[in-house]
Structure 1
Amino acid sequence: MNTQRFIELGEGLGDIFELCELIRTNTGRLHRAFIFTTGDGGVLSPAAAFDPAGEGNYMPIYICREGIRGGGGESARITRFREAAAAAGATPVTVEVRRSTDFSDRDQYYRHITGILRLNHLIPPLG
């Protein structure tokens, strides 16, 4: 059974650096990189899912939730994230999601995203 859980890093520039460093130091475990977008030019959330460590069944998905404004040109933070993913051999998948403020709590928000990722076979199903 695979358990996927989101781990929030924060919304600032330093948090993007941390996410990029996680990708660089765990290149062999990187399952997939994502850029979640609200689709309305609103906000972007870069994220990276890693395969379970060792014999574990826990798949962490690190995310910088809604910390980057969309619209206009690509921000330097998204460019850095794309570069880190490319260096690990991955191209981030853009996935349109609803804003976290559309949900009564973050747990519901992350269940929403997890459902979208499973439905599109971007992360493994439960079981």
Structure 2
Amino acid sequence: MILNQNFIELGEGYGDVYELCELINTNTSRLHRTFILASPTSSGHALSLAVAFEPANGGYFMPVYICREGIIQLDEQKSKRRLLFEQAAEKAGSTPVYIELKHSSEFAERDLFFQYVTGILRLNHLLPPLK
């Protein structure tokens, strides 16, 4: 039973991606799914790296940690931060799901963006519905 799914936003830098990878490494048993969310921009795609974990110890809160739009991918060449994230996910037994969506700047508030992303993930059965 999940009563709440919330995004927990980390920063956009290298240290934040390392923290996200460490969360994957230390919570492998709770790992639900990993995501690479791509938003088109005038200079390429802005990538967000995200990971969803199962609720802790029978709780009802499903956290989704995200490094939002901190990586600009100009071509098919993957950035070092994306490669680090993919390696951590694969080591934990998860292949990141790649999804293209609207950029957060198209929303009046950050919470509206996160509601939009949550809806897309639920519609595609990548996050469970609330019960």
TM-score by length of 1: 0.97
Match of 2:93 among 78, 89, 94: 89
Secondary structure in structure 2 of the residue aligned to 1:65: strand
Instruction: Indicate yes or no: 2:114 matched with 1:110.
Output: yes
The residue aligned with 1:126 is 130
- Segments of structure 2 that go 5 or more residues without pairing to the other structure are none
The residue aligned with 1:42 is 45
- Segments of structure 1 that go 5 or more residues without pairing to the other structure are none
CA distance in 1, matches of 2:51, 2:80: 18
The AA in structure 1 aligned to 2:49 is: P
CA distance in 2, matches of 1:120, 1:13: 29
TM-superposition CA deviations, 1:94-117 (whole Å, max 9, x none):
011110000000000000000000
* Deviation (angstroms), 1:42: 2.2
Moved over 6 A (4+): none
Of all paired residues, the percent bearing the same amino acid is 56
TM-superposition CA deviations, 1:36-61 (whole Å, max 9, x none):
00145320000000000011010000
The AA in structure 2 aligned to 1:25 is: T
CA distance in 2, matches of 1:45, 1:101: 13
TM-score by length of 2: 0.94
